[in-house]
Chain A
Amino acid sequence: MTTWQPVLLANVNRPNSEKITTYLAHGGYEALRKTLKMSPDQVIAEVKASGLRGRGGAGFPTGAKWGFIPKDAPVKYLAVNTDEGEPGTFKDRLIVERDPHAILEGVIIASYAVGAHRAFVYIRGEFFLGVKRWIKAIADAYQYGFLGKNILESGFDLDVSLHRGAGAYICGEETAMIESLEGKRGEPRLKPPYPAQAGIWGQPTVVQNCETLVNIPHIIGRGAAWFASIGTEQSRGPKIFCVSGHVNRPGNYELPLGTPLREIIYEHAGGVRMGRSVKAVIPGGASTPFLTADKLDVPMAFETLAAAGSALGTGAVVVMDETTDMVEVARRVMSFYVHESCGRCVPCRLGGHNMLHELDIIASGQGKRANLARLEALTRGIPGITFCPLGTGMCEPVASGLKLFRSEFEERVS
């Protein structure tokens, strides 16, 4: 079993972990002091050398993203994505509620690196406790001189404000989030231009996931070489795996990238409940294709999961035992996406609706082979022609369900 002393989640189980005094007592804001003695370019170089890739689902290299921000732009922004809502994912909520300063220190370092003097925290509207914790953390950071004018006498200024979403999963997509921050309907924008070129109010904007930002102080504090020594070739550093479903000990487990799925399920999450066996696993959140039990030895890393036919996504591992009704799981995931489609483009809005309709009929046992054929045609036709990745992502679970558990679908239709 991998022995790993948690770094990202080191604080969360301490008493009063959310308080700035607790954070400071355990080395908090030391990396910020170090950062302010470096040049912004040095900070970006360090993050590039670490190999850190975004933890919000897409896995884009973080240092490269910071490097895209034009140096000469007069106004630049940073936006923190706290909109977590992908079924199976529950890591960002934990960090925001229990260790908001760990994110905030990352925010300040990232802002310094790209030259942003204003950062926006966008938080999911339903995170009532998270909102309170963010507000308190920001206020305390101002009081201690980590935010505001001339931070720690460095001459660097940064203001941070909090913005509450209002119940729309699509606002986690970075351009939809920017629309929502601007007070509009959260409909995605066309890319390019990417936010790094034209984001909030048309200004260059770095959008970063909470967990990504929590890694930053450790990369600066312990060095890029330390970070790059953890994980696999293309997936460096520690990762928080959210394990849920049919396991004995569901929860958030921080482990090096590349830890085998089997170890996460059986050693850390206590194995499958009632001694049953695994039937399927969603390895990276609701939009990642299923894995079957013969894939349990896959290392949990970007490149290895892609090779196994799925994706690391958000690192949300949903475990399903032998009793699971895969038609129902596919139907449920589809109903999530149909509910959360922003409605902007037809393939997603109407196609999703139609796929759910076919799934409803198939799940009810009243379906015919024609329903199955129509469902399959839709899952083939929609990917790639939607305005944003949500519409494509919604097809993945059904398409992989049809591929891997075909007999279950066929048994339901006549």
Chain B
Amino acid sequence: MHAEPKVKPSGAALIDPAKEAMLLAALYIAQEQRGYLTPEVIDRVAARLGLTAGQVFSTASFYTLFRTKPVGRYVIQVCSGVSCYLVDGAEKVSDYIGAKLGIRPGETTADGRFTLETVQCLASCGTAPALRVNDQLYENLTPAGIDAILDRLLGEV
């Protein structure tokens, strides 16, 4: 019989699971402070939680709500789901807004005020069409309703 070889614990074995479980919450806090996750922010979160920057970036990049690029002050997210599509939402709404703001989905206005995005189902299918501006949900959209939302946001900035 020969002795089992001694295995040095790998890096992963040293991770504190309780700290790792804080990662999503930490990324939310960091993103709230900076607007998006800069390489420095990723490094700092990694150091605080005892993870590698690669690990933090890998996890952050999996989730669509974490951003590694700056976005406009108002992020308009138009639902492109099937229920919204059926009731004249989806592209009809994003095209309408895009024409008004002069941008296409994925773009930000030159003044950095608005970013337009299309997203998956917002769980508002019964009150479709739906969109969200930052953390505010708007449902049962009509052209007049969209105009009112944009006018209000334009007035606010």
Contact = CB atoms under 8 A, between A and B. Distances in A.
B63 A168 contact: yes
Nearest to B140: A250
A328 B137 CA distance: 26
B86 A87 contact: no
Contact of A88 (B17, B20, B83, B132): B83
A126 B65 contact: yes
A163 B63 CA distance: 14
A87 B127 contact: no
A88 B64 contact: no
A336 B66 contact: no
A179 B90 CA distance: 32
B126 A184 contact: no
A235 interface: no
A73 interface: no
A398 interface: no
Contact of B125 (A316, A333, A342): A316
B134 to A, nearest CB: 9
B120 A89 contact: no
A359 B86 CA distance: 18
Contact of B17 (A127, A201, A336): A201
A261 to B, nearest CB: 17
A182 B21 contact: yes
A87 B125 contact: yes
A89 B125 CA distance: 7
A236 interface: no
Nearest to B90: A332
B13 to A, nearest CB: 14
Main secondary structure of the interface of B (DSSP, over half): mixed
A87 B24 contact: no
Contacts of B23: 183-184
Interface residues of B, number: 37
A310 B60 CA distance: 36
B87 interface: yes
Contact of A168 (B58, B62, B83): B62
B74 to A, nearest CB: 15
A353 B149 CA distance: 35
Contact of B59 (A165, A181, A185, A324): A185
Nearest to A86: B121
A187 to B, nearest CB: 8
Contact of A244 (B27, B63, B126, B137): B126
Q: Give the interface size class of chain A.
A: 35 or more
A186 interface: yes
Given A85-B123, A87-B83, A125 B63 contact: yes
A252 interface: yes
Given A128-B135, A245-B83, A181 B66 contact: no
A308 interface: no
Contact of A318 (B25, B59, B86, B124): B86
Contacts of A107: none
B82 A88 contact: yes
Nearest to B130: A90
Given A167-B64, A245-B83, A126 B24 contact: no
Contacts of B132: 126
B120 A87 contact: yes
Contacts of A87: 81-83, 120-121, 125
B28 interface: yes
Given A185-B59, A340-B120, A332 B126 contact: no
A251 B86 contact: no
A381 B75 CA distance: 39
B132 to A, nearest CB: 7
A183 B83 contact: no
A250 B125 contact: yes
A242 B125 CA distance: 8
Interface of A: 84-90, 92-93, 124-129, 163-169, 180-187, 201, 242-246, 250-252, 282, 286, 316, 318, 320, 324, 328-329, 332-333, 335-336, 339-340, 342
Interface of B: 17, 20-25, 27-28, 58-59, 62-66, 80-83, 85-87, 90, 120-128, 132, 135-137
Give 10 nearest A-B pairs by CB, closest first.
A167-B64, A166-B63, A183-B23, A167-B65, A244-B125, A128-B135, A244-B83, A183-B20, A185-B62, A87-B121
Given A126-B132, A166-B65, A332-B81, 20 more contacts: A87-B82, A89-B121, A93-B123, A125-B65, A126-B122, A128-B135, A164-B25, A166-B24, A166-B63, A168-B64, A182-B17, A183-B22, A187-B62, A243-B126, A245-B86, A245-B125, A320-B86, A336-B81, A336-B120, A336-B121
